[in-house]
Amino acid sequence: MLIKSSRDGLNPPLSSEITPREVYEERRKFIARMAAGAVAGSALWEMANREAFAQGAPAQKLAARANPALSTTEPRTAFKDATGYNNFYEFGLDKGDPAENAHTLQTRPWTVSIEGEVKKPMRLDIDSLTKLAPLEERVYRLRCVEGWSMVIPWVGYSLSNLIKHVEPTGNARYVEFTTLADRKQMPGLRSGVLDWPYVEGLRLDEAMHPLALLTVGMYGQVLPNQNGAPVRVVVPWKYGFKSAKSIVRIRFTRDQPKTAWNDSAPSEYGFYSNVNPKVDHPRWSQASERRIGEDGFFKKKRETLMFNGYPEVALLYAGMDLKKFF
Ligand SMILES: Nc1nc2c(c(=O)[nH]1)N[C@H]1C(S)=C(S)[C@@H](COP(=O)(O)O)O[C@H]1N2
Ligand SMILES: [Mo]
């Protein structure tokens, strides 16, 4: 296998992690200043506008009832950070790339095809999917395998609603999620870092857990493109990469699906990928994390919690060796 350069694959937060964020925030400010100056109508002006749009400027509001029982009361990450510091490799490898590039994603019309071991295979357009169950706001911690975390108010409903709706057959044991892969809309597909499309998967009982969220919005509005519009999953007790964005296909299978990160580096990313401070990534520790927004130079890292602080999922793994099934 290839030796990964620092631009390949997911990477730990080097001590320089803070710098890139500041750098692109500076760049953003610079662009804004330029736009405010004598550059109206120029290419720079265009660029600044595109960025503003990618930031979700006039966004569609989404009404949702708060679900405090399934929400953390920790301070929410600033919208600007949650929508400006992203992993969405289909739009580039740098944290600022998705915000800058994802404006090309066409989120309407959008259909999700539900296939495989179900009694009712179907294609659902984004509106029917959004209306399938009452929308809730749930504030979840998101822990990236790279060692940073955020707190995000998502809007959606338990994935179990959709699963029950399509009636899995007795053969269904896993659920596979596939992201759109369209070179015309996604400049990042030119990179060979992953074998596109981006595919993730869960065991059926994991997908049925009430915490697993079919997500259509965040911060009271539809998902910004860089966060996986128009529909993604959010699985808060697992590393962020399990939460596939911009999903076009949900397939129920008998066998464990092949997943993108596991496929690209099986020794680094397991199928389960539950957040586990006791199982280090081969290239870095997972014992602590940096909360985005708190990353001042002297700010201490936070301790990472087992299952990202969602101990109620432990029963899904009773009797399993979580070092082996990492
Ligand atoms: N299709 C797709 N989904 C993806 C990714 C990606 O590169 N492509 N990155 C994952 C990773 S590594 C993380 S941490 C989360 C980040 O979600 P956020 O940008 O909404 O915070 O999305 C996940 N889902
Ligand atoms: Mo991640």
* Chain mean position to CA 54: 17
Atom 23 (ligand 1) nearest CA: 241
Q: Residue 119 pLDDT > 50, yes or no?
A: yes
**DSSP letter assigned to residue 78:** P
What does DSSP say about strands 174-179 and 247-253: parallel, antiparallel, or unpaired? antiparallel
- Tokens (6 digits) for 79: 């919208």
Fold of 56-317: Sulfite Oxidase; Chain A, domain 2 (3.90.420)
* 296: confidence class by pLDDT, cuts 50, 70, 90: confident
User: Which residue intervals of 73-158 are DSSP H helices?
Assistant: 79-82, 97-101, 126-131
Q: Which residues pair with 111 in a beta bridge?
A: 125
Predicted confidence at residue 20, as pLDDT, reads 47
* Averaged confidence pLDDT in the chain: 89
Q: Are 186 and 90 in contact (CB under 8 A)?
A: yes
Residues linked to residue 174 through DSSP beta bridges, in sequence order: 203, 253
From the CB of 188, is ligand 1 less than 6 Å away?
Answer: no
Ligand nearest to the CA of 79: 1
Q: How close is the Cα of 300 to the center of ligand 1, in Å? A: 25
Domain borders along the chain are: 56-317
Residue nearest to atom 1 of ligand 1 (CA): 245
The answer to whether 273 and 259 are in contact (CB under 8 A) is no
Instruction: Give the integer Cα–Cα distance in Å for 313 and 207.
Output: 11
89 C-beta closer than 6 A to ligand 1: yes
Residue 47 pLDDT: 53
CB of 243 shorter than 6 A to ligand 1: yes
Two tokens, residue 299: 């700010």
For residue range 78-114, what is the model confidence (pLDDT) as tens digits?
999 999 999 999 999 999 999 999 999 999 999 999 9
Q: Whose CA is nearest to atom 21 of ligand 1?
A: 86
pLDDT at 51 over 80: no
Distance CA 256, CA 53 (A): 39
| pTM (two decimals) | 0.87
Lowest mean pLDDT among 186-195, 220-229, 287-296: 287-296
